[in-house]
Structure 1
C-alpha cells in the first residue's frame, strides 16, 4: 500500500528535487549579485590573494612565519595544527569531494574581465578546495591559539570570498568547502587534543598573594639565558616588580637577597636557573613566579606557562598550584639535599651535557648538542654501580620528577606535576648500547626492549658509584657521591599559574 501522507513515500523525491532547485536558484542569484557588485580595491587584492592560496602556499608561508616569529611554543603548535588540518581537508577534497559531485564551473559572462584569474581551474566546482584549506588552517590555528586564530580568520574569509568574486566557484561550493575544512580541523583535534583539552598540569590548586602589576615581586633574570627582550617585556607588563639582571655565577646570591625582601620570588631563565630558584623558594616558604627564558623551558611548558602573559594573569589573580620536587641525597657541594624540577641522571647524559656545554659557546647550542650526541652514542662512558641491590653496568640511569608521556625514543611531556612518583628509566650496558637503543626505539615501545627498562618508583638507591662519576640535574653538572638516594619532596613548591590556560 502506498502512503498518501504528504512528505512520505513517493512524495519525498519530489520534495528533494524542489529543495535542490531552490538551492541552485539561490546559488545563481548570489553569484550574479557578487559579480555585479564592486568593492573599492577588491579588483586589485582579491584575485592576487586567491592566486597566492594555490596549493596552500599562502598557508604554508603563514605557518612558517608563525613558527619563526611567534616567539612561543603555543604559536608553533598552532602553526603545526593548522598545516595538518589543511592537509586532511585537501586529501578529503581531492579523493572524495571533487569526484562525488561533478558540478560545472560558473559561466564567466557576468564576471568583469579584470577579476578573472589568468589560469582558470580545470577541476569540478564542488566543493571549493581553496575554501576548505583556508577554513581548515584558520580553524586549526584558532583551536590551539585564539589570538593567532583571530589574525588568520579574516584572511581565510577573504580567500573564500575571492573564489566567488573571481568567478571560479558558486557560493554553495565555498560554503561546502569551508564546512569540510572546519570538520577536518575538529577531526585532527579528536586525534591529537589541543593543550586546553589535556588534563590541567600541576594540580592541586593553591592560593598565593595577589600581586597586581607585580607589587611585592622580585624577579631574578639570568642574562646568559638570552632573555634580554623578555626582561624588557616583563618590566612593561609588571611595572611595580623589581627585576634584577645578573650573570650565571651571581644567580644564587641574587636569589638569596631577593628572598629577604619580597612576597613572591620570580625567576627568568632556563630550567637550571629555575632549579636554583625553586630551592630558595622552598627554603624561605615563598611562592615562585616562573617566566620561561631559556632554550627548552621544560618545567614551565609542562606546567602550562608559555609566555610572560600567562604568569602575569596568575599574579594578578593570586592563582597557583603545588608541585613536587625531585630530591637526591646527599646534594652537590656538601649540601644535605639537591633538588630537580625535571630530571636527574647518571651515566651517558651527564657526559652529553659536559660536551655540549664545552662546544656551545663556539658553535651554538643545537650543533653542540648534535656533536655531543654523536660522541656519547658510542657508549664509551658506562656507569658501574649497585642499583636497587644489584651490581650492574648501565649506559644511562634517568629519574624524572613525575611521569613523562612516552613519545618516540625519549620521554615527552608531563601532564601531572604532583603525582608523587619518579619516572625511572635505565639502559643496560653492553656493546654499542646507544645504537641498540635507537634500533629498539624504531622497532617498538622501549619497555619491550632488552636494553631498556622503565619503572614507576617513589624512591631508589644507588651504591658503589665510582669516584669521578658525573651526575646531571636539570642540565646542571656535579660529581656523584659514592652512594645516593633519590626520592620526592611532595607538593613542596607553590608556583603561580592561571587556573584556565588560553
Structure 2
C-alpha cells in the first residue's frame, strides 16, 4: 500500500516538475508582470470582492451571483487555509526553477497544497455561474488566469492549482445545499379564459401606493401615461384599504372590468382581496421593495402588465385566507406568520445585502431563537409549544427555514411550517440543523402542506403578520387555501401549466 502511494507521489512530482520546466521555458514578455500583478490582486480574494462589489449594485441575478460568490469564497477559504493546508503540508517550488523576473517580491511561506488562490477563483466563478451562466462565462477567463499565475510566478505546483480549483468548484456547487438556486422561470399556473383586454385603461381601476418602494419616486405619472383612461385611486392612510377599495369601486362612474395595483405586497394583498370578492382580474405592477408576488408571477415591470392587459392574458392563482377570532376573513397573497417569523424576515432582509441570503437567514434564525419565548398552541387539535409559525399561500421552496419562491401558484394547499419548542435543546438542535443544511430532517422543524389549518393560541393573544402587515392580536386563527380564487394578468410568454 505504502509502495503504491509512494509511486503515485513520485509520478505526480515528476509531472509537476515537467510542467514547471515547460512554463519556465516560455520567453520573457509583457505577460510576466501581468501575471505577477494578477496574482497579487487576488491575495485575500481582493479581486473577487471587488467584482462582487460591482455586481451587487445591480438587482436580480447579478446581485444574487455576487452574494453567492462571496459566501462560496468564505467557505472555501476556511476549508483550504484552516484544514487542507494544515493536514496536507507541502513544500513550495524551489526559487531556482523559474527565472528571477517571474518571481514574486514577497512569496508566501504557508503550505503549497492546495492553492488557495485557485480555490477561491473557482469557488467564486462556480457560484456566479449558478445564478447567471453568462456572468460565469465572463468571469471564467479571469479565474483561469489567476490560477495559472500561481504556477507562472513559481509559488505553486500545477497539482496544487488543480486540487485547489476542484475544492473551489465543489464548495461553489455545495452552496445549493444551504441556498437553493431560484429558478429563472416564474411559478406555474393554469391559464385563464375570458378576461378583459384593455389598452388605454377604459374600464380599469388603478390603485397606486406612492409610499411603497422608493419614497422619492411616485409611479402615478408613468402609469397614467400607460393607461390614460384608468380611474386612479390612492390609499387613505386613515382608512381600511380593502373597505376603501370597495367604496371607490361602488362609486365608479363606469363599469370596472379589471383592477390594477402598483405597490408593495401589503397593497397588492388588499387589491387582491377586493378583486377576488368581486370577480375582477388583477394586474400587478411591481412598485414595492421586494415584490415577492410579482416575482413569483413573472411580472417584472409595468410594461409586462401593460402587455398582459392589452392581450387579455391571465392565469388562475391561489390565495390564502385567515379568520382571526370572529373578525371578517382576511386574504393574503404570499405569507402569514405568528411568533418570531416576521422578525426573522426583517433581520434577514436587513443583513442580506452584506452577507448573502443564507448567512443572513442563518444569523437571523439564531438571533430570533435566542430572544424568542415559547408559544403554547394547539395546531389542528395537537398541543404544541413552538417558537414561530409560517403559513404560505401555495407550497414554497426551498423546504428549509428561508422559503423564497413558489413552483406553482395554483396547487391548492397551504405551506405550514413551525419550529417546535417542546423538545430538549430545541433551539440548539434547530440552529445546528440550519447551519448544516439539514433542517428539513430535524425533529424540531415541521413542514406540512394541507388545505386548511386551525391554530389556537393558549397563552396571551398574538398579532398575526399578513404579507408584511400586522393584524390585531387574537387567539383563534383559521387558515384556508382558496384554490384559484384570483385571476391575475401575466404576459403570454410566461410559463403556464
Fold equivalence (TM over 0.5): yes
Q: TM-score, normalised by structure 2?
A: 0.62
**1:22-421 superposed matches below 5 A:** 25=18, 28-33=21-26, 36-38=28-30, 43=33, 47-60=36-49, 62-63=51-52, 66-67=55-56, 69-72=57-60, 74-75=61-62, 77-90=64-77, 93=80, 95-96=83-84, 99=88, 104-105=93-94, 107=96, 110=99, 112=101, 116-123=103-110, 128-146=115-133, 148-149=135-136, 152-153=139-140, 155-160=142-147, 162-163=149-150, 166-169=153-156, 174=161, 177-178=164-165, 180-189=167-176, 193-196=180-183, 202-206=187-191, 220-227=207-214, 240=226, 246=234, 249=237, 266-282=260-276, 283-291=278-286, 293-294=288-289, 297-300=291-294, 303=296, 308=301, 322-328=316-322, 337-344=329-336, 377=372, 399-404=391-396, 407-408=400-401, 414-421=406-413
Q: Which residue of 2 aligns with 1:6?
A: none
Q: Which residue of 1 aligns with 2:353?
A: none
Aligned residues: 446
CA contact (8 A) 2:320 2:331 kept: yes
* Structure-1 separation of matches of 2:386 and 2:76: 47
Cα 1:425/1:203, change in 2 over 3 Å: same
Q: Which residue of 2 aligns with 1:458?
A: 451
Which deviations, in whole Å up to 9, do the C-alpha atoms of 1:434-472 show, x marking residues without a partner?
Answer: x997577458779956xx987654235689999998654
Q: Which residue of 1 aligns with 2:467?
A: 474
CA contact (8 A) 1:56 1:133 kept: yes
CA contact (8 A) 2:24 2:98 kept: no
Which deviations, in whole Å up to 9, do the C-alpha atoms of 1:226-262 show, x marking residues without a partner?
Answer: 3357877x969x9846797955639766896799799
Q: CA deviation at 1:129?
A: 2.9
Q: Which residue of 2 aligns with 1:359?
A: none
Cα 1:246/1:53, change in 2 over 3 Å: farther
* Structure-2 separation of matches of 1:163 and 1:474: 51
CA contact (8 A) 1:344 1:398 kept: yes
Cα 1:392/1:339, change in 2 over 3 Å: same
Question: Secondary structure of the equivalent of 1:195?
Answer: coil
Which deviations, in whole Å up to 9, do the C-alpha atoms of 1:55-103 show, x marking residues without a partner?
Answer: 3243345446655x3444x455423432343345446655558948756
Question: Secondary structure of the equivalent of 1:492?
Answer: strand
Cα RMSD (Å) of the superposition? 6.1
Q: TM-score, normalised by structure 1?
A: 0.62
Q: CA deviation at 1:139?
A: 1.7
* Structure-2 separation of matches of 1:398 and 1:53: 42
CA contact (8 A) 1:470 1:478 kept: yes
* Structure-1 separation of matches of 2:190 and 2:280: 17
* Structure-1 separation of matches of 2:379 and 2:14: 77
Cα 1:102/1:308, change in 2 over 3 Å: farther
Structure ranking higher in helix proportion: 1
Q: Give the gaps of 5 or more residues in structure 1.
A: 1-12, 357-365
* Structure-2 separation of matches of 1:168 and 1:227: 50
Q: CA deviation at 1:275?
A: 0.3
Q: Which residue of 2 aligns with 1:361?
A: none
Larger Rg: 1
